[in-house]
């Protein structure tokens, strides 16, 4: 399976429009090579460099989305939840996408797409950890796209 975006290249800089310094809209994503037998897709976007890439202390979760219909070939800019999919909570304790907003240094953002052989039940709480536990034993394939971002100024509202 392959995951890509027209907004940035692999290991490239995520445009500021997709961050807290811009309109904080999810970048467009597309994928191909979803394996036969896939019943749903799941997406996790996280930053393992928080709060400081020189001394990371935790992985910050930016987006959790699951039960994405397997016949979709991507998500448009803005990250609208597709019909049938369910939003999880990011580390700002809200559903949907929360873009890069690193306090210091250049951070890496991992966009991870999973093809699953099951449609998952609603998660409570709908967190990355709950999703990872529910996906255990159901992952048919995985794809990853990494982008980077370094904040220029301002703070998350």
For residues 140 and 1, give the distance between their C-alpha atoms in angstroms, rounded to a whole number: 10
Question: What backbone torsions phi and psi does residue 104 show, to the nearest 5 degrees?
Answer: -155, 140
* Residue 4 near residue 134 (C-beta atoms within 8 A): no
How many separate domains does the chain show? 1
Tell me whether residue 155 is in a domain.
no
Kindly report the pTM of this predicted structure: 0.95
Residue ranges making up the domain that contains 15: 2-150
User: For residue 153, is pLDDT > 90?
Assistant: no
Tell me whether residue 157 is in a domain.
no
Tell me whether residue 93 is in a domain.
yes
Q: What is the CATH number of the domain that holds 75?
A: 3.90.280.10
Tell me whether residue 156 is in a domain.
no
**Per-residue pLDDT tens over the stretch 62-111:** 999 999 999 999 999 998 999 999 999 999 999 999 999 999 999 999 99
Tell me whether residue 59 is in a domain.
yes
Tell me whether residue 80 is in a domain.
yes
Tell me whether residue 16 is in a domain.
yes
């Amino acid at each position: 399976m392959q995951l890509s975006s027209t907004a940035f290249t692999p290991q490239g800089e995520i445009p500021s429009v997709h961050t807290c310094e811009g309109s904080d809209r999810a970048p467009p994503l597309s994928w191909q090579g979803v394996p036969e037998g896939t019943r749903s897709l799941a997406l996790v976007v996280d930053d393992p460099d928080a709060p400081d890439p020189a001394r990371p202390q935790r992985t910050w979760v930016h987006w959790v989305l699951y039960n994405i219909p397997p016949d979709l070939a991507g998500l448009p800019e803005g990250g609208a939840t597709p019909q049938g999919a369910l939003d999880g909570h990011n580390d700002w304790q809200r559903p949907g996408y929360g873009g890069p907003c690193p306090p210091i240094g250049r951070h890496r953002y991992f966009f991870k797409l999973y093809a699953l052989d099951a449609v998952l039940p609603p998660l409570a709480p709908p967190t990355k950890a709950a999703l990872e536990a529910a996906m255990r034993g159901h992952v048919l394939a995985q794809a990853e796209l990494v982008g980077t971002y370094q904040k220029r100024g301002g703070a998350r509202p």
